[in-house]
Amino acid sequence: MATEMVKTEENYDHLKEVKRFDDSKTGVKGLVDSGLSTIPRFFIHPPHVLSGLKPNPTAIRPQSNPIPTVDLSNIDSPTTQSTVVDQLKRACGEFGFFQIVNHGVPVDLLDRMIAAVKDFHEQPTEAKESFYSRSGKAVQFFSNVDLFHSKAASWRDTLQMRLGPELPNLEEVPEMIRRAIVEWNQEIKRLGEVLMELLCEGLGVNPGRLKEMTFLDGRVMVGHYYPYCPQPDLTVGITSHTDPGVLTVLLQSQVGGLQIKHDGEWLDVKPIPGALVINVGDIFQIMSNEEYKSVEHRVLANSLDEPRVSIAVFFNPTARENLYGPFPELISPEKPAIYRQFQYIDYLTRFFTKELDGKSLTNFYKL
């Protein structure tokens, strides 16, 4: 199948080839398993996207990890909590990303989740194809959420699952994930509430505000799988984008590749054993009136035999018809509102009907 996808200049039909790939339900892992040595043309990104890429995710620059790491131990102590709030506020304002350690999520659970998602993706195609869907089911497997909207596909597969307000029926969940997902959901919900309270405190708004606005309830998990890519200089794992929602919690395996854009340069988010990566979403940038930044990030194509596995949980509101905009208490004559109000459902509709492409959505809502 892989060789059939490479067509000559004269008869190449991008949409037809993309549809053929999607209909195969094999994902990128299936292409790798077929033994291809060149990637299909619709995975090849234009030069401006590939400019500056380093295809080997282990080729880390000789620098200390530039992304802040925050220790969440002893945050029940008023003194410690005040220090942590200050650290988080600075991280969200300067980088939009930070890593957390001593977060309370058991390390063995982190390991089990990575192993379970890896096991799912490494099953034979016939074992996964019943989950393959783009119809918005509670549990679904696909390759590239923006496959039919993007100019070029990215080298990854995804298992997506709705976690909140309630978990799906466990019989709908892949067997290798069932045991860990219940505990994972509980721990991530707990951690999400802690982070939201601390970050609200950093803004000077009521710590429970985001929970009241249902941002704790709309949890969606994606388990990304980045297999070996034979031509990592021609494609990416995920193209540059920002996240929807208010907050993202990311667990990444020890295979690197995640980068964030900071002061016009791409910085590596080096894996730290036992740590979780946290980033600000577009909605939080808007509600904070840009006190917190939702920054562009990407994942390089994986040139290693060992796959990269990552698990992200997005925190979104369930009250999608409500109006969202900057918190009123953050608006003053000295700092007027930067964004207009909008319904979250409008934002989501725009997000899922276009390709992943940086900051275009937040810019759309600017006054």
CATH of the domain at 303: 2.60.120.330
Q: What angle do helix axes 78-94 and 175-203 make, rounded to 10 degrees?
A: 100
Query: Torsion angle of alpha carbons 65, 310, 190, 210, nearest 10°?
Result: 80
Which of 202, 188, 221, 214 lies closest to 293 in space, CA to CA? 202
Is 255 a member of any domain?
yes
Is 178 a member of any domain?
yes
* CA distances (Å), origin 160, targets 132, 247, 310, 330, 344: 10, 17, 12, 35, 20
**Tell me: the pLDDT tens digits for 239-265?**
999 998 899 999 999 999 999 999 999
Is 188 a member of any domain?
yes
Q: Could you tell me which residue, 250 or 321, shows the higher pLDDT?
A: 250
- Does the pLDDT of residue 1 top 60, yes or no? no
Please list the helix, strand and coil fractions of the chain in percent, rounded to the nearest 5, in that order: 35, 20, 45
Helices marked H in 73-106 — which ranges?
Answer: 78-94
Tally the domains of the chain. Answer: 1
**Calpha distance 178→149 (Å, rounded):** 32
Instruction: Tokens 């994902």: give the residue.
Output: 27
Structure-block tokens of residue 209: 């505000």
The residue length of the chain stands at: 367
Structure-block tokens of residue 259: 């980068």
pTM: 0.92
Is 225 a member of any domain?
yes
Is 4 a member of any domain?
no
What's the whole-number average pLDDT of the chain? Answer: 91
**Tell me: the pLDDT tens digits for 193-246?**
999 999 999 999 999 999 999 999 999 999 999 999 999 999 999 999 999 889
**Calpha distance 288→24 (Å, rounded):** 43
Q: Could you list the residue range(s) of the whole structural domain that residue 220 is in?
A: 12-364
Query: Residue 304, Cα to own-chain centre: how many angstroms?
Result: 21
**Calpha distance 281→248 (Å, rounded):** 7
Structure-block tokens of residue 184: 């994972």
Query: Residue 82, Cα to own-chain centre: how many angstroms?
Result: 28
**Calpha distance 160→311 (Å, rounded):** 10
Which of 305, 246, 293, 235 lies closest to 43 in space, CA to CA? 235
Q: Looking at the DSSP assignment, which residues form a beta bridge with residue 251?
A: 311
**Calpha distance 9→274 (Å, rounded):** 48
